[in-house]
Amino acid sequence: MWRGFASERTGGLTTPSKARALAWMSVALFGFLALGISGRELAREVNLYQLLVYRNGLCLIIVLAILARSGFAVVRTHRIGRHFARNVVHLTGQYAWFFAVVWLPLSEVFAIEFTTPIWTALMAGTFLGERITAWRAGAIALGFLGVLVILRPGLAIVHPAALAAVAAAVCFAATYVITKNLVGHDTPMAILFWMHLMQLPLGLVPAVASGWVNPSPPLWPYVVMIGIAGFATHYCIARAMSFADATIVVPLDFLRLPIGAIIGWLFYAETLDPMVAVGAAIIIAANVGNLRHG
């Protein structure tokens, strides 16, 4: 594990391996599911800001343990304002995501979240000056169509949590765009360090103001799970991409939808809305097209 972070820090290369990329991405997939399940269970007793405090607090402990061995020089930055802006947006997205997870079927949340690469492409073209090709423009349009199929505005009542899921995807996209601007100057460990260090107090203030409640003993394993899963998803995706191209790694993330639907069915008696499946298929097709031709 420590070697993995050393490789990221020094820019070291790893030998390409689809099998290892698949293994790391599989862990990341279950990390996302663990985040959703732990968030949903903890929300029975604590407010959503507390979820963010637990997540960022435990992740910060993990990052500090790594830095204690690798050194703190890697977290130096001259762009503290940009880090702050990134983390305000990311914290907002996290809150919206957990809100959606509490109220919507997991499959629907993940389906809408798959629009994040679409929003990222649009923002990168607008703010970073990246070229929007015909394929990319088509993927963006197709992604929007997929969201409309899932939400069905005018034909069905749009749950506020569905709009929160869309907002989360937009916030995550904005986070990626700011991150892309930062990675040319700061190390990945610096981004992780400042993310958790800044988001911890940003979440702690509203968590206390909303009424802090200590969860009952049966829920404490979920507190641990939300922290470990929060860190593992970031780390495992980075490791997966060190072994294979994004065109191989990113489509594996789409397995979250069927796995999430199965988990939702087994543990929460959720059923998969056929229109969510259709909309998700459209969004996935848009993402695959953007990866291959964008």
Q: For 50-68, what is the HEC assignment?
A: HHHHHHHHHHHHHHHHHHH
In 3-state terms, what secondary structure has residue 36? helix
For residue 12, tell me if it sits in a domain.
no
Residue 7 has pLDDT above 50, yes or no: no
The predicted-structure confidence for 157-185, as pLDDT tens digits, reads as follows: 789 999 999 999 999 999 988 988 887 78
Residue 92 near residue 206 (C-beta atoms within 8 A): no
Residue 30 in domain:
yes
Residue 183 within any structural domain of the chain: yes
pLDDT digits (tens, 9 = 90+) for 42-92: 999 999 999 999 999 999 999 999 999 989 999 999 999 999 999 999 999
Asked if residue 3 belongs to a domain, the reply is no
pLDDT the model gives residue 11? 43
pTM: 0.87
pLDDT reading at 1 higher than 60: no
Answer yes or no: is 258 within a domain: yes
Distance of CA 180 to the CA centre of its chain: 15
Q: How many helices (H) and strands (E) does the chain have?
A: 13, 0
DSSP state of 50: H
| The two three-digit tokens of residue 246, written as one number | 């994004």
Let me know if residue 144 belongs to a domain: yes
Give residue 12's pLDDT.
44
Q: How many CB atoms lie within 10 A of CB 137?
A: 15
Q: What is the pLDDT of residue 9?
A: 43
Q: List, for residues 64-78, the tens digit of each pLDDT value.
A: 999 999 899 999 999
Residue ranges with strand state E in the chain: none
Question: What local confidence, expressed as pLDDT, does residue 279 receive?
Answer: 93
Percent above pLDDT 70 for the chain: 92
Domain tally for the chain?
1
Amino acid at 175: T
Rounded to whole angstroms, the Cα distance separating 21 from 81 reads 34
Compute, in degrees rounded to 10, the torsion defined by CA atoms 22, 239, 226, 265. -20
CA Rg value for the chain: 19
Average pLDDT, the chain: 87
206 belongs to a structural domain = yes
- pLDDT for 210 equals 93
Q: Which domain holds residue 202?
A: 17-293
Q: Does 8 reside within a domain?
A: no
